[in-house]
Amino acid sequence: MGRMSGKVVFITGAARGQGRAHAVRVAEEGGHVIAVDICADIPTNSYPMATREDLAETASLVEKHGGQAVTRVADVRDRAALSAAIDEGVARFGRLDGVVAQAGICPLGTTEPEAFIDAIAVDFNGVFNTIDVALPQLTRGASVVATGSTAALIPGTLDSAAKGSGGLGYSWAKRAVASLVHDLAVVLAPKGIRVNGVHPTNCNTPLLHNDAMYKTFRPDLAEPTLEDVLPSMPHMTATGIPYVEPEDVADMVLFLLSDESKNVTGMQMRVDAGGYVKRRPQQPAF
């Protein structure tokens, strides 16, 4: 019996990166997934998004690890598309036990206002839409997990228009996700539904490995490579590693989805190798 035996989880941004890692981890523990992704590029986002082939590969990996997957191409900005995906999944599996609002973008390298809007529309509105359309299917014991960002919680990282409008929108959205988690946990607690946030540091996914992101680490170089930026990346952690792996975040997400965390709600769970406390050394607020 796995820790997710028989449970069904709705995961956005599931075609690759962290979303795929969450889907595979659920399957490894006996669960099934409803997996969606936009599978199309967003013009203000400089790096390419996942593809339909990536989403199909996620489904294949879920099945390889013993789970079943319902996949659908859906943009988290489109509530109707999200609703249709959930309806299809619940029709097949008969239940919904968890939600992972994972889909996100980080449109760096531009000062265009549209990048600010797109970042918020995907990274906050998308999270809100995901939770909203899933909520009618959730019952006592269900778990909602929303992905934030350690970088967004640390002042002086991306929270400046001087560093680009998209980065500012990303930072705003991820801080808003943390606030949503805090208050929604209180609202849903009487119904026995838990809500928690997960805030990764740099993570080994395409959101980190792209030219615009590399430029934020080495603005002194015209075209920095991974080799150029690797010495700078450990600045974001306390342990000296440059980034965490998607599977590291998936372990935390699995805990929050499972019954092991049945009394855990309203938490901001950082998977950041100490990056936040390294920069915020004051005593915790009690």
Assign domain 8-272 to a CATH class. alpha beta
Active site (annotated) includes residue 170: yes
Q: What is the pLDDT along the chain (286 residues), one digit of tens a residue?
A: 799 999 999 999 999 999 999 999 999 999 999 999 999 999 999 999 999 999 999 999 999 999 999 999 999 999 999 999 999 999 999 999 999 999 999 999 999 999 999 999 999 999 999 999 999 999 999 999 999 999 888 887 777 777 789 999 999 999 999 999 999 999 999 999 999 999 999 999 999 999 999 998 999 999 999 999 999 999 999 999 999 999 999 999 999 999 999 999 999 999 999 999 888 766 666 5
Residues 61, 65, 66: CA angle, nearest 5 degrees = 120
Query: Please, what is the angle between helix 113-120 and helix 165-188, to 10°?
Result: 20
Rounded-to-integer distance, Cα 149 and Cα 73, Å: 25
Find where tokens 């009690």 sit: 286
Task: Give the residue extent of every domain in the chain.
Answer: 8-272
Neighbouring-strand partners of residue 73: 37
Find where tokens 């395409």 sit: 206
Find where tokens 């006996």 sit: 30
Considering 170, 214, 243, 276, which one is annotated as catalytic? 170
